[in-house]
Amino acid sequence: MRAWCKTAGDRINAIVEAIVAALMLLLVLDVWLGVADRYYFHWQLPWPEELARYLMIWAAMLAVSCGISRREHIGLTLLVGAIPEGARRVILIAMDLVALALFLYVFWFGIGFAQSGATRQAMIFGTSLQPYYAAIPVSAGIAAIQILLTMIRDMGDYFEPSFEEEAE
C-alpha cells in the first residue's frame, strides 16, 4: 500500500509540476508582454495585468500540493525534533490529519465559492470568474489527495524521522 501511494503521489506530482511550470512560463511571457506594451509599443493592452493575476493564483495554489508531496512545506521541525520519539509519531500524524481536514474544508467550501463565480464577470475579459475561482477547490482537492497519499507513504517513517539530517 505504501509503495502504491508513493507511485500515485509521484505521478500526480509530476503532472501538477508540469502544469505549474507551464503556468509560470505563460506568466513570465504575459508580464514581459505587459512591460513591452507599456514602455515600448504603447498598444495599451488591457488584459496582461489581469491575466497575470489569474495565472499567478492558479500556479501558487497548485504548487501547494507539490510542496506536500515532497514534504517541503513549512513545518516546525526544530520543535518536533525535540520531542521524544514515542510522542513524535503521534504529533506528526496529528499534524497531517489537521492539514488534511483543512484542505478538505477548503475544498468543500471552495466548490460553492467557484460556483458563485459563474454569475460574476472578469473586468477585462468579460468572461465568467468561475474558471478562475475554481483554483481554490481544485488545488485544495489535489492537496488533500497528496497529503493522504504522503501520510500513508510515510507511515513507517514516522517512527524515526531524521530531523538532524534536514538541519544540515
For 50-84, what is each residue's pLDDT tens digit? 899 999 999 999 999 999 988 887 666 677 778 88
The boundaries of the domain holding residue 149 are 2-167
Rounded to whole angstroms, the Cα distance separating 168 from 163 reads: 9
In this prediction, residue 76 carries a pLDDT of 63
Number of structural domains, the chain?
Answer: 1
- Contact residues for 63 (Cβ-Cβ < 8 A; gap 6+): 16, 20
- Round the average pLDDT of the chain to a whole number and report it: 87
Percent pLDDT > 90 in the chain is 57
Q: Which has the higher per-residue pLDDT, 97 or 89?
A: 97
Please report, in angstroms and rounded to a whole number, the separation of the first and last CA atoms in the chain.
Answer: 31
According to the model, what pLDDT value does residue 114 have? 94
